[in-house]
Amino acid sequence: MIHTENLSKKFGNVMAVDGLNLDIKEGEVFGFLGPNGAGKTTTVRMLTCLIGPTSGLASVAGFNIGSQDTEIRRVVGVLTETPGMYDNLSAEYNLKIFGELYEVKNVKGQIDKYLKMLGLYDRRLDAAGTFSKGMKQKLAIARALLHEPQVLFLDEPTAGLDPEGAHLVRDFISELKKEGRTIFLCTHNLDEADHLCDRVGVFKAHLLVVDTPANLRRSVFGRKIVFHLSRVDESLAQMIREITFVREVKVIDNKIVVNIDNPETQNPQIIRKIMEAGADLQFVGELRHSLEDVYLELVKSA
Protein backbone atom coordinates (compact mmCIF):
# COMPACT_ATOMS: atom_id res chain seq x y z
CA MET A 1 0.00 0.00 0.00
CA ILE A 2 2.92 2.33 0.74
CA HIS A 3 6.20 1.73 -1.01
CA THR A 4 9.33 3.86 -1.01
CA GLU A 5 12.67 3.37 -2.70
CA ASN A 6 15.61 5.46 -1.56
CA LEU A 7 13.24 8.31 -0.80
CA SER A 8 15.28 11.36 0.20
CA LYS A 9 14.62 14.97 1.06
CA LYS A 10 17.23 17.66 1.44
CA PHE A 11 16.56 21.18 2.74
CA GLY A 12 19.57 23.28 1.78
CA ASN A 13 22.51 21.38 3.25
CA VAL A 14 20.40 19.41 5.69
CA MET A 15 19.46 15.87 4.72
CA ALA A 16 16.08 15.46 6.42
CA VAL A 17 15.29 12.03 5.00
CA ASP A 18 18.06 9.87 3.62
CA GLY A 19 17.30 6.91 1.35
CA LEU A 20 14.14 5.65 3.01
CA ASN A 21 13.04 2.18 1.91
CA LEU A 22 9.67 1.04 3.17
CA ASP A 23 7.00 -1.48 2.27
CA ILE A 24 3.75 -1.25 4.16
CA LYS A 25 1.04 -3.78 3.42
CA GLU A 26 -2.66 -3.12 3.05
CA GLY A 27 -4.42 -3.13 6.40
CA GLU A 28 -1.19 -2.79 8.33
CA VAL A 29 -0.71 -0.32 11.16
CA PHE A 30 2.83 0.93 10.86
CA GLY A 31 4.43 2.91 13.67
CA PHE A 32 6.99 5.46 12.60
CA LEU A 33 9.17 6.26 15.59
CA GLY A 34 12.01 8.68 15.94
CA PRO A 35 13.28 11.64 17.92
CA ASN A 36 12.17 15.21 17.21
CA GLY A 37 13.70 16.47 13.99
CA ALA A 38 14.32 12.94 12.74
CA GLY A 39 12.37 13.62 9.55
CA LYS A 40 9.08 11.90 10.40
CA THR A 41 6.87 14.84 9.48
CA THR A 42 8.91 15.44 6.32
CA THR A 43 8.31 11.80 5.36
CA VAL A 44 4.57 12.14 5.98
CA ARG A 45 4.52 15.33 3.93
CA MET A 46 6.28 13.60 1.05
CA LEU A 47 3.94 10.61 1.19
CA THR A 48 0.89 12.89 1.24
CA CYS A 49 2.28 14.94 -1.67
CA LEU A 50 2.60 18.14 0.31
CA ILE A 51 6.27 18.38 -0.55
CA GLY A 52 8.28 16.69 -3.26
CA PRO A 53 11.22 14.36 -2.66
CA THR A 54 14.72 15.46 -3.65
CA SER A 55 15.34 11.96 -4.97
CA GLY A 56 13.92 8.47 -4.84
CA LEU A 57 10.56 6.95 -5.63
CA ALA A 58 7.39 6.37 -3.69
CA SER A 59 3.90 5.14 -4.29
CA VAL A 60 0.80 5.24 -2.11
CA ALA A 61 -2.25 3.08 -2.84
CA GLY A 62 -0.78 2.29 -6.24
CA PHE A 63 -0.31 5.91 -7.28
CA ASN A 64 3.11 7.41 -7.84
CA ILE A 65 4.29 10.44 -5.95
CA GLY A 66 5.21 13.28 -8.27
CA SER A 67 3.02 12.24 -11.19
CA GLN A 68 -0.27 11.27 -9.50
CA ASP A 69 -0.35 13.62 -6.54
CA THR A 70 -4.02 14.57 -6.83
CA GLU A 71 -5.03 10.89 -6.98
CA ILE A 72 -2.98 10.22 -3.85
CA ARG A 73 -4.57 13.13 -2.00
CA ARG A 74 -7.99 11.72 -2.83
CA VAL A 75 -7.30 8.35 -1.21
CA VAL A 76 -5.31 9.38 1.85
CA GLY A 77 -6.43 11.04 5.03
CA VAL A 78 -4.03 13.15 7.04
CA LEU A 79 -4.05 14.14 10.67
CA THR A 80 -1.44 16.85 10.85
CA GLU A 81 0.74 17.58 13.87
CA THR A 82 -1.56 20.44 14.89
CA PRO A 83 -5.33 20.16 14.32
CA GLY A 84 -5.42 23.45 12.34
CA MET A 85 -9.13 24.15 12.64
CA TYR A 86 -10.98 27.26 11.53
CA ASP A 87 -11.70 28.48 15.02
CA ASN A 88 -14.43 30.94 14.05
CA LEU A 89 -16.42 28.31 12.20
CA SER A 90 -18.60 25.60 13.70
CA ALA A 91 -17.37 22.03 13.95
CA GLU A 92 -19.92 21.02 11.36
CA TYR A 93 -18.88 23.74 8.92
CA ASN A 94 -15.22 22.87 9.38
CA LEU A 95 -16.02 19.34 8.26
CA LYS A 96 -18.34 20.50 5.49
CA ILE A 97 -15.51 22.45 3.84
CA PHE A 98 -13.30 19.38 3.76
CA GLY A 99 -16.15 17.10 2.73
CA GLU A 100 -16.68 19.30 -0.31
CA LEU A 101 -12.98 19.53 -1.11
CA TYR A 102 -12.68 15.73 -0.92
CA GLU A 103 -15.80 15.48 -3.12
CA VAL A 104 -17.62 13.34 -0.57
CA LYS A 105 -21.01 12.29 -1.94
CA ASN A 106 -23.07 12.34 1.24
CA VAL A 107 -21.27 15.10 3.12
CA LYS A 108 -23.97 15.63 5.75
CA GLY A 109 -24.25 11.90 6.42
CA GLN A 110 -20.51 11.47 6.78
CA ILE A 111 -20.21 14.50 9.06
CA ASP A 112 -22.96 13.21 11.33
CA LYS A 113 -21.48 9.71 11.34
CA TYR A 114 -18.03 10.79 12.51
CA LEU A 115 -19.23 13.49 14.88
CA LYS A 116 -21.39 10.87 16.59
CA MET A 117 -18.60 8.28 16.63
CA LEU A 118 -16.24 10.74 18.25
CA GLY A 119 -18.78 12.13 20.68
CA LEU A 120 -18.90 15.61 19.21
CA TYR A 121 -22.36 15.58 17.65
CA ASP A 122 -24.00 17.63 20.41
CA ARG A 123 -21.36 20.34 19.95
CA ARG A 124 -21.53 20.34 16.15
CA LEU A 125 -22.84 23.90 15.91
CA ASP A 126 -20.31 25.36 18.33
CA ALA A 127 -17.30 27.22 17.00
CA ALA A 128 -14.21 25.00 16.85
CA GLY A 129 -12.36 27.72 18.78
CA THR A 130 -14.43 26.92 21.86
CA PHE A 131 -13.29 23.27 21.83
CA SER A 132 -10.67 21.80 24.15
CA LYS A 133 -7.46 20.50 22.63
CA GLY A 134 -8.75 16.94 22.83
CA MET A 135 -12.00 17.83 21.12
CA LYS A 136 -10.13 19.65 18.37
CA GLN A 137 -7.96 16.60 17.89
CA LYS A 138 -11.04 14.41 17.58
CA LEU A 139 -12.52 16.86 15.12
CA ALA A 140 -9.31 16.71 13.10
CA ILE A 141 -9.53 12.91 13.09
CA ALA A 142 -13.11 13.17 11.82
CA ARG A 143 -11.89 15.53 9.11
CA ALA A 144 -9.20 13.04 8.06
CA LEU A 145 -11.77 10.25 7.78
CA LEU A 146 -14.69 12.02 6.05
CA HIS A 147 -13.82 10.66 2.62
CA GLU A 148 -13.15 7.14 3.93
CA PRO A 149 -9.48 7.09 2.92
CA GLN A 150 -7.68 3.84 2.17
CA VAL A 151 -4.54 5.10 3.86
CA LEU A 152 -4.47 7.20 6.98
CA PHE A 153 -1.47 9.23 8.11
CA LEU A 154 -1.66 10.14 11.77
CA ASP A 155 1.01 12.49 13.04
CA GLU A 156 1.08 12.42 16.85
CA PRO A 157 -2.63 11.71 17.26
CA THR A 158 -2.55 11.70 21.06
CA ALA A 159 0.02 14.45 21.64
CA GLY A 160 -1.13 16.89 24.29
CA LEU A 161 -4.27 14.95 25.16
CA ASP A 162 -5.28 14.05 28.69
CA PRO A 163 -5.23 10.31 29.53
CA GLU A 164 -8.96 9.96 28.89
CA GLY A 165 -8.77 11.73 25.53
CA ALA A 166 -5.68 9.76 24.52
CA HIS A 167 -7.43 6.53 25.49
CA LEU A 168 -10.46 7.43 23.39
CA VAL A 169 -8.31 8.26 20.37
CA ARG A 170 -6.33 5.03 20.75
CA ASP A 171 -9.55 3.02 20.94
CA PHE A 172 -10.72 4.77 17.83
CA ILE A 173 -7.50 3.90 16.00
CA SER A 174 -8.00 0.28 17.08
CA GLU A 175 -11.44 0.37 15.53
CA LEU A 176 -10.00 1.75 12.31
CA LYS A 177 -7.45 -1.06 12.36
CA LYS A 178 -10.26 -3.58 12.63
CA GLU A 179 -11.88 -1.99 9.58
CA GLY A 180 -8.72 -2.94 7.67
CA ARG A 181 -7.40 0.53 6.97
CA THR A 182 -3.72 1.05 6.38
CA ILE A 183 -2.44 3.40 9.05
CA PHE A 184 0.89 5.20 9.14
CA LEU A 185 1.27 6.33 12.72
CA CYS A 186 3.94 8.81 13.81
CA THR A 187 4.17 8.85 17.56
CA HIS A 188 6.44 9.50 20.49
CA ASN A 189 4.20 7.41 22.68
CA LEU A 190 5.90 4.03 22.51
CA ASP A 191 3.25 2.26 24.56
CA GLU A 192 0.76 3.43 21.99
CA ALA A 193 2.94 2.09 19.17
CA ASP A 194 3.41 -1.17 21.04
CA HIS A 195 -0.33 -1.70 21.43
CA LEU A 196 -1.53 -0.46 18.06
CA CYS A 197 1.16 -1.24 15.52
CA ASP A 198 1.76 -4.43 13.60
CA ARG A 199 5.25 -3.23 12.80
CA VAL A 200 7.33 -0.25 13.80
CA GLY A 201 10.19 1.54 12.12
CA VAL A 202 12.74 3.44 14.12
CA PHE A 203 13.85 6.41 12.12
CA LYS A 204 16.59 9.00 12.47
CA ALA A 205 17.11 10.65 9.06
CA HIS A 206 17.32 7.11 7.74
CA LEU A 207 15.53 3.98 8.77
CA LEU A 208 17.39 2.14 11.52
CA VAL A 209 15.20 -0.91 11.77
CA VAL A 210 11.74 -2.20 10.88
CA ASP A 211 10.06 -5.12 12.59
CA THR A 212 7.25 -6.14 14.89
CA PRO A 213 7.60 -4.79 18.43
CA ALA A 214 8.11 -8.33 19.76
CA ASN A 215 10.87 -9.13 17.27
CA LEU A 216 12.56 -5.83 17.99
CA ARG A 217 12.66 -6.64 21.68
CA ARG A 218 14.20 -9.99 20.90
CA SER A 219 16.73 -8.68 18.43
CA VAL A 220 17.89 -5.85 20.67
CA PHE A 221 17.76 -7.46 24.08
CA GLY A 222 17.31 -11.15 23.41
CA ARG A 223 14.93 -13.00 25.77
CA LYS A 224 15.58 -12.78 29.46
CA ILE A 225 14.19 -15.30 31.89
CA VAL A 226 14.08 -14.53 35.59
CA PHE A 227 14.41 -17.39 38.07
CA HIS A 228 13.25 -16.38 41.54
CA LEU A 229 14.96 -18.42 44.25
CA SER A 230 14.79 -18.39 48.03
CA ARG A 231 18.57 -17.97 48.11
CA VAL A 232 21.17 -17.53 45.38
CA ASP A 233 24.82 -18.39 45.60
CA GLU A 234 27.49 -17.65 43.04
CA SER A 235 28.25 -21.34 42.38
CA LEU A 236 24.72 -21.86 41.10
CA ALA A 237 25.03 -18.84 38.81
CA GLN A 238 28.35 -20.16 37.54
CA MET A 239 26.78 -23.54 36.87
CA ILE A 240 24.11 -21.94 34.73
CA ARG A 241 26.71 -19.83 32.91
CA GLU A 242 28.45 -23.04 31.86
CA ILE A 243 25.40 -24.30 29.98
CA THR A 244 26.25 -23.91 26.29
CA PHE A 245 23.15 -22.10 25.03
CA VAL A 246 23.14 -19.51 27.82
CA ARG A 247 24.29 -16.15 26.55
CA GLU A 248 24.44 -14.14 29.77
CA VAL A 249 23.69 -14.60 33.45
CA LYS A 250 23.15 -11.85 36.01
CA VAL A 251 22.40 -12.18 39.69
CA ILE A 252 20.12 -9.55 41.16
CA ASP A 253 19.15 -10.08 44.81
CA ASN A 254 17.53 -13.51 44.92
CA LYS A 255 16.98 -13.63 41.21
CA ILE A 256 19.03 -15.09 38.41
CA VAL A 257 18.41 -13.39 35.08
CA VAL A 258 19.37 -15.60 32.16
CA ASN A 259 19.60 -14.42 28.56
CA ILE A 260 18.72 -17.22 26.17
CA ASP A 261 17.36 -17.48 22.65
CA ASN A 262 14.61 -20.03 23.01
CA PRO A 263 13.09 -20.26 26.49
CA GLU A 264 10.38 -22.65 25.41
CA THR A 265 12.92 -25.45 24.83
CA GLN A 266 15.84 -24.24 26.96
CA ASN A 267 14.06 -23.36 30.21
CA PRO A 268 13.47 -26.99 31.31
CA GLN A 269 17.19 -27.71 31.18
CA ILE A 270 18.00 -24.72 33.35
CA ILE A 271 15.26 -25.63 35.79
CA ARG A 272 16.64 -29.16 36.04
CA LYS A 273 20.12 -27.78 36.83
CA ILE A 274 18.69 -25.57 39.54
CA MET A 275 16.74 -28.43 41.08
CA GLU A 276 19.77 -30.74 40.94
CA ALA A 277 21.77 -28.11 42.79
CA GLY A 278 19.14 -28.28 45.56
CA ALA A 279 18.05 -24.66 45.23
CA ASP A 280 14.47 -23.60 46.05
CA LEU A 281 12.92 -22.35 42.81
CA GLN A 282 9.96 -20.16 43.68
CA PHE A 283 8.81 -19.12 40.23
CA VAL A 284 9.95 -18.36 36.71
CA GLY A 285 9.02 -15.44 34.50
CA GLU A 286 10.14 -13.59 31.40
CA LEU A 287 11.57 -10.12 31.77
CA ARG A 288 9.73 -7.87 29.29
CA HIS A 289 11.55 -4.88 27.91
CA SER A 290 9.32 -2.03 26.89
CA LEU A 291 9.40 -0.73 23.36
CA GLU A 292 10.82 2.42 24.90
CA ASP A 293 13.89 0.49 26.06
CA VAL A 294 14.30 -0.89 22.54
CA TYR A 295 13.85 2.53 20.99
CA LEU A 296 16.33 4.21 23.33
CA GLU A 297 18.86 1.50 22.71
CA LEU A 298 18.50 1.84 18.94
CA VAL A 299 18.58 5.62 18.85
CA LYS A 300 21.52 5.74 21.26
CA SER A 301 23.57 3.39 19.15
CA ALA A 302 22.65 5.10 15.85
Partner 1 sequence: MKKIITIIRKEWAEVFKNRMVIFTVLFLPLIMTAIPLGVLYSTRSATATTNTQLPSEMTQSLCPGISSSKDCMQIFLVSEFMMLFMLLPVAIPVTIAAYSIVGEKTTRSLEPLLATPITTMELLVGKSLAAVIPGIVATYGAFTIFVVGSWIMLKNRILLTAIIDPRWLIAVIIVGPLIAILAVAFAIMVSSRVNDPRVAEQISMVIILPVLAGFFGQVAGLFVLNTQLILIVGGILAILDVIMLYLTSRVFQRELILTRWK
Considering the rule CB under 8 A, would residue 160 count as an interface residue with partner 1?
A: no
State which of residues 23, 57, 62, 87 lies at the interface with partner 1 (CB under 8 A): 87
> Bridge partners of 60?
2, 63
Considering the rule CB under 8 A, would residue 203 count as an interface residue with partner 1?
A: no
State which of residues 6, 21, 26, 52 lies at the interface with partner 1 (CB under 8 A): 52
Amino acid at position 79, single letter: L
Please state, in angstroms and rounded to a whole number, the distance separating the CA atoms of residues 102 and 210. 33
State which of residues 5, 27, 66, 93 lies at the interface with partner 1 (CB under 8 A): 93
CB-based burial label for 123 (10 Å; 0-12, 13-18, 19+):
middle
If phi > 0 it is left, if psi is from -120 to 50 it is alpha, else beta; for residue 169 that is alpha
Closer residue to partner 1 (CB): 103 or 264: 103
State which of residues 10, 11, 174, 268 lies at the interface with partner 1 (CB under 8 A): 11
Nearest to 47 by CA among 39, 38, 58, 56: 58
DSSP state of 297: H
Considering the rule CB under 8 A, would residue 80 count as an interface residue with partner 1?
A: yes
> Bridge partners of 30?
184, 199
Considering the rule CB under 8 A, would residue 97 count as an interface residue with partner 1?
A: yes
Stretch that binds partner 1, among 43-51, 176-184, 254-262, 280-288 (CB under 8 A): 43-51
DSSP state of 51: S
Give the footprint of partner 1 on this chain (CB under 8 A): 11, 45, 48-52, 70, 73-74, 76, 78, 80, 82-89, 93, 97-98, 100-103, 140, 143-144
